[in-house]
């Protein structure tokens, strides 16, 4: 799944007039925990989108899958990238994706269905997307934490009936 997050137009003034350039911020994901972010630049919008999509897909394929718990997150996380701060909270099944435009697109690409989010600070699309990705990469399942700490997890025995 690919989605265009933001298209920026830049202008260069030359002797004959103005020259326009475009940059496109793209998110790509397999909806199974892998997400990639790509930035493409070109003289035409279509070229910028194509380059950004290729870049995002390449990053997505080479990235490690995120630690998701079903269709939600295993725990709350606050991620900061530059001036953007993004809070991601797990939600009960059926809640849906409560998020802004940029955060929603990144979480949809990752395959998250139930989550509550809050974006604070900068509203720069690139920084918000990178903060969201950073938050997703910082997630750990309880089993992973036990393993990192070298703790043997005790399994609860169910009483015989």
The answer to whether residue 154 is domain-embedded is no
Residue 38 within a domain = yes
Mean pLDDT of 132-139: 91
Number of structural domains the chain divides into: 2
- Model confidence at 160: pLDDT above 70: no
Number of Cβ within 10 Å of residue 150's Cβ equals 6
Q: What is the pLDDT of residue 156?
A: 59
> What's the confidence (pLDDT) of residue 142?
80
Question: What is residue 116's predicted lDDT score, i.e. its pLDDT?
Answer: 94
In a 3-state reduction of DSSP, which class is residue 89? strand
Summarize pLDDT for 98-126 with one digit per residue, the tens.
Answer: 999 999 999 999 999 999 999 999 999 99
Question: pLDDT per residue over 36-92, tens digit each?
Answer: 999 999 999 999 999 999 999 999 888 888 888 888 999 999 999 999 999 999 999
Q: Are residues 106 and 139 in the same domain?
A: yes
Question: Which pTM value belongs to this model?
Answer: 0.86
Q: Which residues pair with 98 in a beta bridge?
A: 116
Cα separation, 149 vs 107, whole angstroms = 29
Report the CATH number that the domain containing residue 86 is assigned in CATH: 3.30.230.10
Tell me the CATH number at 25. Answer: 3.30.160.20
Q: What is the pLDDT of residue 144?
A: 82
Q: What is the CA radius of gyration of the chain?
A: 19
Secondary structure class of 84 (helix, strand, coil): strand
Cα-based distances in Å from 112 to 63, 69, 98, 116, 126 = 17, 9, 11, 11, 20
Range of the domain at 131: 77-149
Give the pLDDT confidence score for residue 12 in this predicted structure.
93
pLDDT of residue 157: 57
């Amino acid at each position: 799944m690919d989605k265009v997050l933001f298209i920026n137009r830049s202008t260069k003034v030359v002797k004959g007039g103005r020259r326009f350039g475009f940059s496109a911020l793209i998110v790509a994901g397999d909806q199974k925990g892998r997400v990639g972010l790509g930035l493409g630049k070109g003289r035409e919008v279509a070229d910028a989108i194509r380059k950004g999509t290729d870049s995002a897909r390449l990053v997505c394929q080479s990235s490690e899958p995120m630690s998701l718990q079903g269709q939600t997150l295993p725990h709350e996380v606050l991620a900061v990238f530059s001036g953007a701060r993004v809070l991601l909270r797990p939600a009960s099944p059926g809640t849906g994706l409560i998020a802004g435009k940029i955060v929603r697109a990144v979480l949809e690409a990752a395959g998250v269905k139930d989550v509550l989010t809050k974006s604070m600070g900068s509203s720069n699309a690139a920084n918000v997307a990178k903060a969201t990705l950073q938050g997703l990469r910082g997630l750990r399942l309880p089993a992973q934490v036990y393993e990192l700490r070298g703790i043997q997890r005790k399994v609860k025995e169910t009483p015989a009936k």
